[in-house]
Structure 1
Amino acid sequence: MSNDARTDGGTVTEADPGASAGLLSGLDAYRVLLYLGLLGMLTFFLIPIESGLVTSFKTASGVSGSLPFAPPTGGTFTFEKWRAAFDALGRGLINSALYAIPATVISALLGSFTAYGLTQSNWKQKYKAPVLALLVAGVFIPYQAVLVPLSQFWSMIPLQEWLGFLWALGINNDYASVIELIITHVAYGLPICTVLFRSYYKNMSDEMIEAARLDGASIRRIYRRIVLPLSGPMFAVVLIYQFTQIWNDLLFTLVLVQTESSAAAPIVLILAGLGTSLEGQDFALRMAGAFIAALPTLAVYIAFGEEFAEGVAT
């Protein structure tokens, strides 16, 4: 009896080994092309970072005598640019931390409070809708549109007089601009923080909140005992976003601090003029300064990376 014959008189069709091999080879070819494409994209995006990093370790002759992405060789390798950049940016790192950290934390907390009030409170919808509309509109206001009003506003506030007790302690009065930057970034960051937290709280379990209300928990207690502990992933998203925006902001610092010679000058303001002189641009020094300025934001992302991924997924 033939291998294809069945006992009931029918036939069976054996699988074609050639067809299976062709399908497998086609799948392998697709994966190879996919991985090659992904590798090409990765290389494309990493080349600028690699070029900047190797440039920061080159001498002036090494920068002018080699391709940007070529590593330093022989006598063109030096750590001097990193030392010089750190010396120039050291005070800027401290000044930026003085306003970036408080502004990030305060705006995140206020955004969480506001979003909680817009989602879990007993407000009527007709009151919530206008507030939410104003907050959403605030997200789309560009920095450039508020620079002149911002400057005029702070010129009318006698902050130097109000903080006179600090200057009497020997603190440089230039640090009044740090207070101005904290308040400005909190006000400007509140809308986006609220919108992000609101989307997170809208997906929170209503049954859990309702059960707490039935047990007699107040709105403050519900937030402190239930909502806040569950908000860790979204706090990570907001903290990373806000800290990155505040740390890298240059426009507000130009308006409020104005000059890199100020004792309160942040790192982005000092970095803007780093390596610039009448003799030309010191690209190696500028690249070293750029990487030093980026280290705090990288550290924040590494610290909250896992929670950030969870918050974005939700």
Structure 2
Amino acid sequence: MSTETGGGIGNVDPYRVGLYAVLVGMAAFYLTPIESGLVTSFKTNTAVVETAPFAPPGGSGLTTEKWQAAVDALLRGMGNSLLYAVPATILSAFFGSITAYGLTITNWRMRYKAPLLALFVAGIFIPYQAVLVPLSQFWAQIAPLEEWLSFLWAAGINNDYVGILELIVTHVAYGIPICTILFRSYYKNISTEMVESARLDGATLRRVYRRIVFPLSTPMFAVVLIYQFTQIWNDLLFTLILVATESSAAAPVVLILAGLGQSLEGQDFGLRMAGAFFAALPTLAVYIMFGEEFAEGVAT
């Protein structure tokens, strides 16, 4: 009877206590930089210097001017980034799905599939830096592109936006390999009996994809859309090559953010932090919208 007294203290599981302590420590480790950046975005320049990074600004050091300035500076770039990030994400996911369908479910001989699959795997490991010079030379040689789009410039659209089209094509081409591999790993687990039954009923390859494979791909589409949108939204290298300057009418948000808060007097850390959080809002929105499907797709 004496072993059951003491308010349950003797029943404490040391392993569980240790586990919770580790989890709390990890949460603090990862959230402290976010908290420091967030409170810095609400500090005046004086408060940034006089207070610790993670300390609240206090009454006299609190300001929202940094956020107002960041929104005013980045709003145009936010729209430009959406112009290429959304279509590039959707197109690369769709083409990756179709390609994976062809490499997984269709009846090809392995000796034909293997070399193609090897090319897609190799495409994943090509670093951005390795293609910057060929990429700039390629688009420099596509001179008729601006002539083909002359009707847009005649309508009053700035011809700097040809860089947006170049970014869309570039990110789609660069994203297809990783999207293909992700979808292929998912399609390998699809029931072959269901696909074979549809073929016996006379369904074509296109109809099998549209009626069976595509509806079952929702979880993996969520994974690919979140991954691709985040990669494209945060990319700076391709933007520097194809758009070049933050003063361009088509400058994306990452290009403007790179120079935000810099002046001869030094760096405005509060403005930079406010800009960083504002620029991250679209990626956060995508995670929230597709979070449940993302978890399902990762677990599959």
Deviations 1:193-233 (A, max 9, x none): 00000000011000000010111111100000000000000
Aligned pair 1:304/2:251, yes or no?
no
Aligned residues: 298
Shift of 1:18: 5.4
Aligned pair 1:276/2:236, yes or no?
no
One-letter amino acid of the counterpart of residue 224, structure 1: R
**1:1-314, aligned counterparts within 5 Å?**
25=10, 28-158=13-143, 159-314=145-300
Hey, which bits of structure 1, 4+ residues long, moved more than 3 A? Answer: 16-19, 24-27
The CA distance in 2 between the partners of 1:205 and 1:61, in whole Å, is 63
Shift of 1:137: 0.3
One-letter amino acid of the counterpart of residue 148, structure 1: V
Contact 2:3–2:10 (Cα < 8 Å) also in 1: no
The CA distance in 2 between the partners of 1:229 and 1:190, in whole Å, is 20
Shift of 1:29: 2.0
For the aligned residues, what is the CA RMSD? 1.7
The CA distance in 2 between the partners of 1:293 and 1:264, in whole Å, is 16
One-letter amino acid of the counterpart of residue 141, structure 1: I
SS where residue 74 of structure 1 aligns? coil
Shift of 1:26: 7.4
One-letter amino acid of the counterpart of residue 204, structure 1: I
Identity value in percent = 73
The CA distance in 2 between the partners of 1:202 and 1:135, in whole Å, is 16
Q: Which has the larger radius of gyration?
A: 1
The CA distance in 2 between the partners of 1:164 and 1:122, in whole Å, is 45
The CA distance in 1 between the partners of 2:262 and 2:44, in whole Å, is 16
Structure 1: runs of 5 or more not aligned:
1-15
SS where residue 55 of structure 2 aligns? coil
Deviations 1:174-206 (A, max 9, x none): 000000000000000000000000000011000
Shift of 1:115: 0.3
